[in-house]
Structure 1
Amino acid sequence: AQYGADTMRLYIMFVGDFEQAAIWSTEAVKGSKRFLDRVWNLAESAKDDPNPSPANEAVLHRTIKKVTGDIDSLKMNTAIAAMMTAVNELTANGVTKGDMRPLLQLLSPFAPHITEELWERFGFAAETGKMCCQSQWPVYDERKTVASTVDFAVQVNGKLKGTVTMPTDSEEAAVAEAALTVEKVQKATAGMQVVKTIFVRNRLVNLIVKPQ
């Protein structure tokens, strides 16, 4: 009565593995309601563009892959967790109408009422002549599950000085060279000699320097 059917459905599937006992918590139901509120707010912020945005391509394809596999394995709790993570990333990146389409399709089995309402508001029902639950399940492209670029944290002697955006799986030398173009890095390394580079693939580069 307080939260509605979608929140109830979502919580029952999120509370734990279907094969294991779980403790019911009325207080924890609030988390499911907050997630659905975030989905609604995300939808209201969406740009009226029917195309998925490049910034969200990797997160959407990763989420489609994860949720599809988890549903097949009856791992509903981890499927919902994956969608929660995706909504956080989509909120940070900003979304288009095209980004929302596959998200609503993935969420539909878990929260059918909110997804049908948003599906209609976005015009997908009129466009396809089908409800969200009747639409074709989204398909992921394995090649698109990995982002084409990644932001590397740039440190000098362990202190963060900025970031550089590089192609995924860039080599150490290329990232270190790009790091030296960051203004704060240039100031921190002026008159200094780079004696060592600590490199964590797709995460960070740390330039160890000492006076020349």
Structure 2
Amino acid sequence: MTEHGGVTTVDGGTAVEPDAGGREAETPDPGPRPDGGADAPRRRWPRVLGALLAVALIVTGGLLYAEGRRLRDTPATANLALTDTAATTRVTGDVSSALAKVFSYAPGSTAATRAAAEEVLTGKALQQYAALFGQVERQAADQKLTLTSEVVRAGVTRLTDDSAHLLVFLDQVYERRGRTPTTAAAQLTVTAELRDGRWWIVEIGSL
């Protein structure tokens, strides 16, 4: 390396100008950028997206939970006839069996029918039945009348833990001595209550 007129020549012919203080000029090192360079935004995006996704999932989960609570608390889902098959089947069977007993009789068995009614009817239903059955007993004896009732369809319209409302369809066959039997259809609304583990009919209405 040789110096000519303040210019230093490096072996090989490359000229390097010294700075004002006589030192060789150096290219400053920019060093790391405060923002991490061009790759920093790309590195931050996955973290930002992950945080946004987590927030969205939390909000969505909260909304779904609130909606589920609202649906579970609505009167429709409080109706066990829509959700509890076993309870619906039981009350349907008990009420159908009870109606078949209290609306079936023969001239010599009205006392047994009355006793059966007292085991499955209560409240207003028993009062109504007792008032009407006195007339039935006299007709059955005088006209030798036999009535056989069969439930052909019964549906529970509303069911809770201790009460039920049903719509019942019956076929009834009337037989009088010396006459051809006649068949009639009956449609009833029934209200039943669960007492001491048994379903009791508390009200009967006709459609």
TM-score when scaled to structure 1? 0.22
Higher strand proportion = 2
Higher helix proportion = 1
* Larger Rg belongs to: 2
TM-score when scaled to structure 2? 0.22
Highest RCO, 1 vs 2 (Cα 8 Å, sep ≥ 6)? 1
